[in-house]
Amino acid sequence: MITKIKELLTEVESFHSSNPDEIENFRIKLLSKKGLVTALFADFKLVPNEDKKLVGQMLNELKDKALNKVNELKAALEVASHGKGGMDLTLPGYPDELGTRHPISIVKNEIIDIFARLGFTISEGPEIEDDWHVFTALNFPPEHPARDMQDTFFIQKNPDILLRTHTSSVQIREMEHSKPPIRTISPGRVFRNEAISARAHCIFHQIEGLYIDENVSFADLKQTLLYFAHEMFGEKTKIRLRPSYFPFTEPSAEMDVSCNLCGGKGCNVCKYTGWLEVLGCGMVDPSVLENTGIDSKKYTGFAFGMGVERITMLKYGVKDLRLYFENDVRFLRQFQSAY
């Protein structure tokens, strides 16, 4: 038996092949149920007791070596076949893909850039606000429906602490802390208690603008917004102002731009009117100036506010607001820009 084991050990050690069939036959010959090594294990019971220790060790060594040999040869085979087959190890790796900015960030940066050219600075404020900065200082009467639970998210049932519903709150803070001339825009997230649909979301982004100085007039507002419309939607864009109402501006207006998709002829985006509603604006109500310690006899100002999602929808023809929040890369990858 010892001679047989030694013979097989030499055979295992000297065996070499890069042919998968030969390797498999070698495995079957030695290690399968009817293989030579298996048969030797079966004969082990016939070995006289005094030889059992030595023969046992030799048998185990033979089995381990045979197994290792088969595994080594198979592994070598796999590496070799990759080189020839599907995978070419000399090819360069996949390049890292560069991400793109979110469309809301692109448009927000573009709007900021346009107003920066007119000398507007950027101001930011807290998303969790108090009633004074969101409503009271802005002339909202106590019974105003915006304060209603249905429109505003309150924190911990305390009606004085809430998520801001617009970034006009930042402008109040700005007026409280600095002296005119003030020329600033406040971009940021705002929150309203609305059911989520293609046209509405409970979280969205606003950019509000404020300009306060001596002799600021409605003509200044109009010219500023016309400049913005041209820069944002193209030189041919027309604007129109419709009378409106906000508690903090007087007079107030809504601005429409001519539909850039159909050139004003009428299409399903502008609902065949040729016009798209883009923002609210007006002259800052003197009592808002007084609320923040600014002399309303000396100073006047204008303000405006727009939704970044809305502008993005109009600029890129996005039909469903929810796409902005789903972050599906197939959607996000479509927006390339200098911003």
- Could you list the residues that contact ligand PHE (CB under 6 A)? 166, 168, 208, 246, 249, 280-282, 303-305
Selection from 107, 116, 149, 121 nearest residue 278 by Cα: 107
**Tokens standing for 204?**
């969205």
Decide whether 233 or 304 has the Cβ nearer to ligand PHE. 304
| Shortest separation between residue 307's beta carbon and ligand PHE, angstroms | 8
**Tokens standing for 24?**
């498999």
| Shortest separation between residue 197's beta carbon and ligand PHE, angstroms | 18
Q: State how far the Cα of 135 lies from the Cα of 146, in Å rounded to an integer.
A: 9
Decide whether 252 or 260 has the Cβ nearer to ligand PHE. 252
Contact residues for 149 (Cβ-Cβ < 8 A; gap 6+): 193
| Shortest separation between residue 294's beta carbon and ligand PHE, angstroms | 16
Decide whether 27 or 192 has the Cβ nearer to ligand PHE. 192
Residue 140 host element (H or E): none
Using CA atoms, how far residue 15 sits from 10, 66, 68, 81, 152, in Å, is 8, 10, 12, 20, 81
On whether the CB atoms of residues 287 and 139 are closer than 8 A, the answer is: yes
| Shortest separation between residue 310's beta carbon and ligand PHE, angstroms | 11
Decide whether 12 or 225 has the Cβ nearer to ligand PHE. 225
Q: State how far the Cα of 274 lies from the Cα of 5, in Å rounded to an integer.
A: 95
| Shortest separation between residue 128's beta carbon and ligand PHE, angstroms | 17
| Shortest separation between residue 322's beta carbon and ligand PHE, angstroms | 21
Decide whether 51 or 290 has the Cβ nearer to ligand PHE. 290
Residue sitting closest to ligand PHE (CB): 305
Decide whether 12 or 255 has the Cβ nearer to ligand PHE. 255
On whether the CB atoms of residues 89 and 82 are closer than 8 A, the answer is: yes
